[in-house]
Amino acid sequence: MLETLLGALFIMVLRIFDVTIGTFRTILVVQAKRYHAAIVGFFEVLIWITAMKYIVGHMDEWMNLLGYAAGFAIGNLLGITLEEKVALGFVQLNVISRDFSETIARKLRESQFGVTVINGEGIKGEVDVLICIIKRRELKNAIRLIDSIDSNAFVTVQHSRPYRGFVHGSRK
């Protein structure tokens, strides 16, 4: 019984590492960091095949299947958490504020965020659309600043992969 339990735990731990690394590798692929993704993928598959070798030899144990599934679930949670902590790449932050666009733009610029202002028209009339391309790790600070001025501002965030040109604070 102890051997069966340890086997299931072994599979679970391998899957936790494998899936955590796999989630992170996926982000590297999306960010076009091909060599980093290849190196991470090597270790991901090495761990996965080790787990599969063990599981194929012990398929008759239902606890191994539970360990496999639990490792997969926990690995997803840890992978997403790791990715959020590392926060690679850039995001595009779009902000529409009915009454405070100028103040938000000024405060973002004072905080060293680049801001492009585009005139637009919404259902209730003219608006300014503020666009910022920022490092993902700076996103919380930018949103905190926007919320301190207008907690009702319409804010969207999307992945951004600058192609060329100037990104505030660095040249691409």
pLDDT in tens, 121-165: 888 888 999 999 999 899 999 999 999 999 999 999 998 877 777
Per residue in 14-26, pLDDT (tens digit) is 999 999 999 889 8
Taking a C-beta distance cutoff of 8 angstroms, is the pair 94, 129 a contact?
Answer: yes
- Mean pLDDT on 59-72: 87
Which tokens is 105 given? Answer: 């733009």
Radius of gyration in angstroms for the set of CA atoms belonging to the chain, rounded to a whole number: 23
Sign of CA dihedral 63, 68, 74, 77: negative
CA distance 68 to 50: 12
CATH numeric code, 90-171: 3.30.70.120
Place of tokens 């959020």: 84
Measured distance CA(56)–CA(103) in Å, rounded: 62
CA atoms of 47 and 16, how far apart (whole Å): 10
Comparing 6-10, 34-38, 82-86, 127-131, which segment has the lowest mean pLDDT? 82-86
Query: What pLDDT does residue 164 have?
Result: 74
pLDDT of residue 172: 42
Q: What is the pTM of this model?
A: 0.68
Q: How confident is the model at residue 168 (pLDDT cuts 50, 70, 90)?
A: low
* Residue 113: pLDDT band with limits 50, 70, 90: very high
pLDDT (0 to 100) of residue 166: 65
Listed in sequence order, the residues at least 6 apart from 50 whose beta carbon sits closer than 8 Å to its beta carbon are 14
pLDDT band for position 171 (50/70/90)?
very low
